[in-house]
Amino acid sequence: MTTESYDLFLEKLLARTGRDESATIPILQGIQEHFHYLPEPVLRRASELTGITLGHLVSVGSFYHQFRFKPTGRHRLRVCHGTACHVKSSENIQEAIQRALLIPAGDDTSPDGEFTVERVACLGCCTLAPAVQIDHTTYGHLAPDTVEMMLDDFRATRHQTVSDVDAVSCHHQNGNKPEIRVGLGSCCMAKGSDELFHLLRHTVKEFGLDIPVKRVGCVGMCHQTPIVEIRLPHKPPAFYAKVTPEQAEGIIRRHFPPANLTRRLTRWINRTLEELVTAENPLEKLDQHQLLMESQPVERFLGRQVRIATEGFGEMDPLDLDEYIAHDGFKALQTALTRAPEDLIAEITASGLRGRGGAGFPTGLKWSHVLHAPSQDGTKYVIVNGDEGDPGAFMDRMLMESFPYRVIEGMMIGAHCVGAKEGYIYVRAEYPRAVSRLREAIRRMTEHGLLNHFRLHIFEGAGAFVCGEATALVESIEGHRGIPRLKPPRLAESGLWGRPTLLNNVETFAMVPWIIRHGAARFAALGTPKSKGTKVFALAGKINRAGLIEVPMGITIREIVEEIGGGVPNGKRFKAVQIGGPSGGCIPASLSHTPVDFEALTEAGAMMGSGGLVVLDEDDCMVDVARYFMSFLRNESCGQCTFCRIGTTRMWEILDRICNGKGRPSDLDDLKQLATFTEQASMCGLGKSAPNPVLSTLRYFHDEYDAHLQGRCPAGRCKPLIQYVVQENCTGCTICAQHCPANAIPITPYQRHKIDPEKCTRCDVCRTDCPVGAIHIESGGQKTAGHLHKESPAHLALVHP
Amino acid sequence: MITLTIDGQPVTVPEGSTILDAARALGLNIPTLCFLAGVKDNHPSCMACVVRVTGQWNLQPACATKARNGMIVASETPEVKAARKAALELLLSDHLGDCISVCQRVCPARMEIPEVIRLVAAGKMQDAIARVKENVVFPGVLGRICRAPCEMGCRRRQYDGAVAIQLIEREVANLDAAAPHRFVPTCAPPTGKRVAVVGAGATGLSAAFFLLKRGHKVTAFDAATEPGGQMRQANLPREVLDADIATIGAIGLEFRGNTRLGREVTLDELRRDYHAVILAVGPMAKTNHADLGVPATEKMIKVSAKDFQTEIPGVFAGGSCIRNGWDPARSVGDGHLLAESVDAFLAARPWQIAPKEFTTTIPKLSPAEYRELGKGANSELSVRELVSEAEKAAGRCCHCDCRAAADCKLRLYAAAYGADPKKFAGERRRLFEVIRQPGGVIFEPGKCISCGICVAIAEQAREPLGLVFIGRGFDVKVGVPLNASLADGLRKVGADCVKHCPTGALAFESAEPPRRTI
């Protein structure tokens, strides 16, 4: 490319982004999107054309993980290392991929330049853990030995793209007409819902039926996706779970026989012939997948839930404006506009709503601060914080994907209350579908004249967890590195560009319309004395029914795990929940009577956080969990305050040492000291809460730390402390020996196999592949709990728009 | 105006002042590393200035926290001090450099080796001999028989062999000995005090030299006919020892040979006739204990570890008579310390041996880093016509000692707070790297503590490239973007950045460091 063609590209880009320093991140995103990295000559030219210093462009670019300064391979493969993926051994997946692609240690791109492999903090599809994203395709439930399958699948199908936006249907139905609903949240999409959606539409058309096939937002039952719901007049809805494309036709046929007799005959003949060839009838399996609403697990999963932020769950087409309005959408805004801000704020205050981003600041009070804060020129801003960075959390993604109008409505009510005429929705870069749906929602609202008096922007984050911190987020919108500011002044006094700014989390805003419509009292009637209403949680990890739930505050952890989530799978023992992400902590099973309540969780050493709830079982090593979070935090610290920048790394090194069996007697004291000072002397919420994973595991699982100091990992997780041992029931089938990537198992047919501990890399392939379960993990000469369950390899995939 | 209380003292400051402003108004010394008024005063990062504000659950950075009416601040509590110390220790754990070079640290004679080497490399031989004789009165001797631990510790040794420090010392001494006008130190005006030194070996003569320099009258007694002690038996040309001793004679040493303590003269007599007595009688094995008149064990005279004083007031001892074995460099060092102790005693000033100077230490480096270190050798020297072996040797010195050791804020506060540089030492550390421009600013990223002052200065000056933060988290580094040169990065504000850098990360390459005080 020549300078001239750079200019052509850049001029076009700059026309869209503007040339101010505040456009730094969008400019870099444009360059990155086009070149897949930030080439130096382009940056130089961009600097010349905008007047933004080259130093600024580079410094900002280096802060956010989205940007690269080196060319990438043709495809970007991102391995998720979120909490749920981590506890399901994402490290083993990472290693297997590196191995399969022959990527040398220390490098990230395959020698043939096909793939660049990156680690990402969380893809936000925790129910698919462990998950990998290749370009826009997501694969989940991987195991080391299905990695090759995944790569082959990607190579075979990468040219297929299925668009999201073109599929938008506008059928608006009342309850008396039949319709077919397909959940199309990101998790569902990753499990093939989109493919299914198109197939269902195609089949319906082929059958000559006039039944709308409708995409709906997240259904919440992520453990059952893809889910198809059949609505028929005067009949209870029928749910089909884990539907495969082959089953689509059967479902339609069962509920809607083809209208035209000839077509029916043609279909029957074709089908019969096909079955003769394949000798398999997918319909036979259909029944076992049908979920009846009244069936116990579904009832238990949904029964305790209360829908406020997620009202209309699995019913509405996320982008259908008419449907949203028909479901009382924008009614609250209409009411609000006729009421005085003070009056509305009093309502919010009376509802007891507290910020759902984690810290639980009273929402009414915050709004009132912004309302009364003087602004030099009268300008105020409102920001939706959709930078959901906690590994293990995906509530905000779901809300933005499934209820974009509701989030915007709540935001506009907030704007009206505080006197803001302009607002930003800050969405993290890893959520492309949330961005596209919000953009489309804004487009449609603009078309309908709903945004005539409010300027609404979408700001895409660029991959920095710390930007979930309010002041860092503001810095980021202003075009800077996401470095938190010292508070006070709070954003309410001096926020975006120095103006009073109202910043609330996605979920907080999503609750507002309901409160205005139903009144503060109904909201306040739910929950505990200090924590009112409901909370949305992303339930993931070692749990039977993972998914997205909205529950009344005050519900206990046990109720969530056992009743809603159906307990821990595979007969394992429930050990703890990690709640609140990196800022939160681990609450042991013995304290599972703890209610979900801001104060109670903090008391227990965790934190509400944004609502990630990862269930851990006996296979999970708590020291490893602490190390995992510290590793996350040390990478995500902005690097400003000494304690957070260096302290988290030193804590991580100590934890790493302990996990590797090289702990020293003084380590626990040093850990405690570092944790205390990091909590005490860091400036922002990230640093202040960074020690929580260490402090809470030290508090409840001290015995595991002690065991590690003695060279034993009770959970059988920490690789240097474990050995793989073949048991007597080995049949000598040689599968393990054939599959071992390290050649640590000699091929000895019909004899009990032996694993050479020197060669063994603890990749877990042999154990997961052993057909008779003869390979166990031992540590310190003792059998460990460590018998990770191998998920049935689920292939999934589809394409983000 | 705002009134607040810091450590119990009320103070009134103008609206908008910070806690730091208020503390400074009270004369309190709150450490700050990352703060620069008007440039970087709103993004605290080092956390060395934390204070406890009553009513706040966590510690607050004093430099950026606004003072409020009625605020109650604690700045010197054990908790606050511990937090500051921990902050300093964490910064030190990610700070790669030798405050003081190893050669200097291990030199028993405390010769200022790096400075001497730099003077030699610059061809300033007169200045070099003067600098040597500030600590070492026997450069000719030590240049030949010293065990030279300095060369064992030389950082360059790992790369391609140590700098020949002993050779440099010897050559400096040779040049002086052959000069028509030899080096003679200037002495302080006479004090009227008299000191007796018993034993005219390396320790005694060294002590005599430094006492004479301070204006005291010194008489040295020795059983032998000539001064020199064990040095006379060493494998040395006679003229070398005589030349070294001549310098002491030149400033007025009175020597009484053939005078043995306990025979020709007694300790009581010396105590009566002199204001102080130094016993530097050599190895106890060769001494009759009863003759000494001071409490001693089989092997050594009992002295206080603080000031070399024996159990008899005014009587001091040092050198081989208080140690096992003979190390001439150690004796020379003892002599110097004895002189300082006695000088203080004569002035009735409290004195004790200074604790070890605070220093951070470069750990074992990788071969690539040693190569980088090797590039630190004096580049100007290679283009100049070499005149001597000493200069050639001196030109190989890599200047691993820190240019900012005297005024580095990190070092000063670390010493003040008793911070242990190894407390939180981890596996991950910065790389040894030196970015230099000939004759200009030198940047050692290993010493950078990411305080951001230079970044803020460059940004304020709208430097097109500047120094910027690159990356984030633990791996965040300050650097010139896109691997451009330092000259390109700092076109306007290089000097400013050097001036305000709280460590030695940014310095002028040619700057002669000021003398350290700690």
Lowest mean pLDDT among A258-262, A408-412, A574-578, A699-703: A258-262
A683 contacts in chain B (CB < 8 Å): 44, 61
pLDDT at res. B388: 83
Closest residue of chain B to A688, computed from CA coordinates: B58
B195: three-class secondary structure by DSSP: strand
- B474–A673 CB contact, under 8 Å: no
Which residue, A314, A189, A304, is CA-closest to A539? A304
Which residue, B183, B164, B85, is CA-closest to B389? B164
- A59–B481 CB contact, under 8 Å: yes
CATH pick for B194-346 out of 1.10.3720.10, 3.50.50.60, 3.30.450.30, 3.40.50.970: 3.50.50.60
Q: What is the DSSP letter of A286?
A: T
pLDDT at res. A479: 97
The two tokens of residue A779 are: 């540590």
Topology at the third CATH level for domain A321-524 = Rossmann fold (3.40.50)
pLDDT at res. A610: 77
A466 contacts in chain B (CB < 8 Å): 472
Mutate to test the interface with A, among B453, B474, B477, B490 (most CBs of A within 10 A): B474
Q: For every residue of A771-799, which 3-state class applies, written as one string?
A: CCCCEEEEECCEECCCCCCCCCCCCCCCE
Q: Is the pLDDT of residue A174 over 60?
A: no
pLDDT tier at A793, thresholds 50, 70, 90: very low
CA atoms within 13 A on the CB side of A798: 21
Mutate to test the interface with A, among B18, B77, B469, B486 (most CBs of A within 10 A): B469
Peptide bond into A226 cis (omega under 30): yes
- A483–B476 CB contact, under 8 Å: no
Contact A624, A717 (CB under 8 A): yes
B37: three-class secondary structure by DSSP: coil
Kindly state whether A650 is in contact with chain B, defined as any CB-CB distance less than 8 angstroms. yes
Kindly state whether B426 is in contact with chain A, defined as any CB-CB distance less than 8 angstroms. yes
Kindly state whether A54 is in contact with chain B, defined as any CB-CB distance less than 8 angstroms. yes
Contact A241, A224 (CB under 8 A): yes
Average the pLDDT over A120-129 and give the result. Answer: 81
- Which among B44, B86, B470 is the nearest to A58, CB-wise? B470
The two tokens of residue A315 are: 């019913």
Compute the distance between CA of residue A688 and CA of residue B58 in angstroms, rounded to an integer. Answer: 9
Q: Where are the beta strands (DSSP E) in A38-85?
A: 75-80
Q: For every residue of A495-551, which 3-state class applies, written as one string?
A: CHHHCCEEEEEHHHHHHHHHHHHHCHHHHHCCECCCCECEEEEEEEECCCCCEEEEE
Highest mean pLDDT among A244-253, A404-413, B387-396, B434-443: A404-413
For A279-284, the CB contacts below 8 A with 24+ separation are A282/A244, A282/A246, A282/A247, A282/A250, A283/A247, A283/A250
Average the pLDDT over B476-491 and give the result. Answer: 91
Q: Is the pLDDT of residue A300 over 90?
A: no
For A350-396, the pLDDT digits (tens) are: 999 999 988 899 999 999 999 999 999 999 999 999 999 888 888 99
Q: Is the pLDDT of residue A593 over 90?
A: yes
A638 contacts in chain B (CB < 8 Å): 472-473, 476
pLDDT tier at A169, thresholds 50, 70, 90: very low
- A646–B93 CB contact, under 8 Å: yes
The two tokens of residue B23 are: 């503390």
A485 contacts in chain B (CB < 8 Å): 42-43
Mutate to test the interface with B, among A640, A671, A688 (most CBs of B within 10 A): A640
From B65's Cα to the closest Cα of chain A, the distance in A is 8
pLDDT tier at A163, thresholds 50, 70, 90: very low
A488 contacts in chain B (CB < 8 Å): 66
- Which among B47, B475, B481 is the nearest to A641, CB-wise? B47
Q: Which residue has the higher pLDDT, B165 or B291?
A: B165
Find residues 4-43 of chain B whose CB sits inside 8 Å of chain A. 42-43
Kindly state whether B61 is in contact with chain A, defined as any CB-CB distance less than 8 angstroms. yes
Contact B138, B231 (CB under 8 A): yes
- A642–B47 CB contact, under 8 Å: yes
Averaged confidence pLDDT in chain B: 93
Residue keyed to tokens 């200090």: A530
- A54–B464 CB contact, under 8 Å: yes
Compute the distance between CA of residue A625 and CA of residue A616 in angstroms, rounded to an integer. Answer: 10
Find residues 171-230 of chain B whose CB sits inside 8 Å of chain A. none
Contact A577, A557 (CB under 8 A): yes
Which residue, B59, B137, B36, is CA-closest to B339? B137
Label the pairing between strands A585-588 and A574-579.
antiparallel
From B518's Cα to the closest Cα of chain A, the distance in A is 25
pLDDT tier at A583, thresholds 50, 70, 90: confident
Share of chain B above pLDDT 70, in %: 96
The two tokens of residue B237 are: 């040309």
CATH pick for B2-76 out of 3.30.460.80, 3.40.140.10, 3.40.605.10, 3.10.20.740: 3.10.20.740
Closest residue of chain A to B449, computed from CA coordinates: A642
Angstrom CA distances, A562 to A300, A536, A542, stand at: 10, 17, 12
pLDDT at res. B57: 92
Kindly state whether A637 is in contact with chain B, defined as any CB-CB distance less than 8 angstroms. yes
A643 contacts in chain B (CB < 8 Å): 47, 86-87, 90
Q: Which residue has the higher pLDDT, A611 or B102?
A: B102
pLDDT at res. A94: 93
- B424–A648 CB contact, under 8 Å: no
Contact B115, B511 (CB under 8 A): no
In this prediction the ipTM stands at 0.91
- A682–B47 CB contact, under 8 Å: yes
For B130-153, the pLDDT digits (tens) are: 999 999 999 999 999 999 999 999
Task: Give how far the C-alpha of residue A727 lies from the chain's centroid of Cα atoms, to the nearest Å.
Answer: 39
pLDDT at res. A244: 81
pLDDT at res. A221: 74
Average the pLDDT over B480-496 and give the result. Answer: 91
pLDDT at res. A77: 92
CATH number of B102-180+362-383: 1.10.1060.10
Closest residue of chain A to B49, computed from CA coordinates: A681
Closest residue of chain B to A643, computed from CA coordinates: B87
Q: Is the pLDDT of residue B209 over 90?
A: yes
Q: What is the DSSP letter of B215?
A: T
Averaged confidence pLDDT in chain A: 87
pLDDT at res. A253: 80
**pTM (2 decimals)?**
0.89
pLDDT tier at A284, thresholds 50, 70, 90: very low
What contacts A39, CB < 8 A, 6 or more positions away?
A31, A71
The two tokens of residue B24 are: 């400074």
Kindly state whether A485 is in contact with chain B, defined as any CB-CB distance less than 8 angstroms. yes
pLDDT tier at B30, thresholds 50, 70, 90: very high
Q: For every residue of B121-189, which 3-state class applies, written as one string?
A: HCCCHHHHHHHHHCCCCCHHHHHHHCCCHHHHHCCCHHHHCCCCHHHHHHHHHHHHHHCCCCCCCCCCC
A209: three-class secondary structure by DSSP: coil
Instruction: Give counts: helices (H), strands (E), chain B.
Output: 21, 15
Contact A248, A255 (CB under 8 A): no
Topology at the third CATH level for domain A728-773 = Alpha-Beta Plaits (3.30.70)
For B95-116, the pLDDT digits (tens) are: 999 999 999 999 999 999 999 9
pLDDT at res. A789: 46
B477: three-class secondary structure by DSSP: strand
pLDDT at res. A796: 36
For A709-734, the pLDDT digits (tens) are: 999 999 999 999 999 999 999 999 99
- Which among B58, B426, B482 is the nearest to A680, CB-wise? B58
- A645–B473 CB contact, under 8 Å: yes
pLDDT at res. A260: 61
Kindly state whether B66 is in contact with chain A, defined as any CB-CB distance less than 8 angstroms. yes
Label the pairing between strands A290-292 and A238-240.
antiparallel
pLDDT at res. A270: 61
Compute the distance between CA of residue A376 and CA of residue A73 in angstroms, rounded to an integer. Answer: 49
- A649–B50 CB contact, under 8 Å: no
For B393-444, the pLDDT digits (tens) are: 998 999 999 999 999 999 999 999 999 999 999 888 999 999 887 668 999 9
Alpha helices for A281-390 (secondary structure H): 296-303, 321-326, 331-337, 341-351, 363-372
- Which among A62, A63, A642 is the nearest to B90, CB-wise? A642
- The answer to whether domain B102-180+362-383 and domain B194-346 are alike in fold is no
Closest residue of chain B to A654, computed from CA coordinates: B426
Compute the distance between CA of residue A257 and CA of residue A228 in angstroms, rounded to an integer. Answer: 17
From A663's Cα to the closest Cα of chain B, the distance in A is 13
B470 contacts in chain A (CB < 8 Å): 58-59, 62
Compute the distance between CA of residue B397 and CA of residue A300 in angstroms, rounded to an integer. Answer: 77
Mutate to test the interface with A, among B420, B472, B480, B503 (most CBs of A within 10 A): B472
From B159's Cα to the closest Cα of chain A, the distance in A is 26
Which residue, B27, B17, B28, B7, is CA-closest to B68? B17
- Sequence ranges of the domains in chain B: 2-76, 102-180+362-383, 194-346, 402-508
CA atoms within 13 A on the CB side of B16: 2
Share of chain A above pLDDT 90, in %: 61
Share of chain A above pLDDT 70, in %: 89
pLDDT at res. B386: 61
From A393's Cα to the closest Cα of chain B, the distance in A is 22
Topology at the third CATH level for domain A620-715 = de novo design (two linked rop proteins) (1.20.1440)
CATH number of A165-292: 3.40.30.10
- A486–B42 CB contact, under 8 Å: yes
pLDDT at res. A797: 34
- Its CATH architecture, for the domain A75-157, is 3-Layer(aba) Sandwich (3.40)
For A674-713, the pLDDT digits (tens) are: 999 999 999 999 999 999 999 999 999 999 999 999 999 9
For B315-358, the pLDDT digits (tens) are: 999 999 999 889 999 999 999 999 999 999 999 999 999 988 99
pLDDT tier at A581, thresholds 50, 70, 90: confident
From A659's Cα to the closest Cα of chain B, the distance in A is 15
The two tokens of residue B71 are: 């605020």
Q: Which residue has the higher pLDDT, A247 or A792?
A: A247
Kindly state whether B65 is in contact with chain A, defined as any CB-CB distance less than 8 angstroms. yes
Q: For every residue of B334-395, which 3-state class applies, written as one string?
A: HHHHHHHHHHHHHCCCCCCCCCCCCCCCCCCCCHHHHHHHHCCCCHHHHHCCCCCHHHHHHC
pLDDT tier at A792, thresholds 50, 70, 90: very low
Kindly state whether A651 is in contact with chain B, defined as any CB-CB distance less than 8 angstroms. no
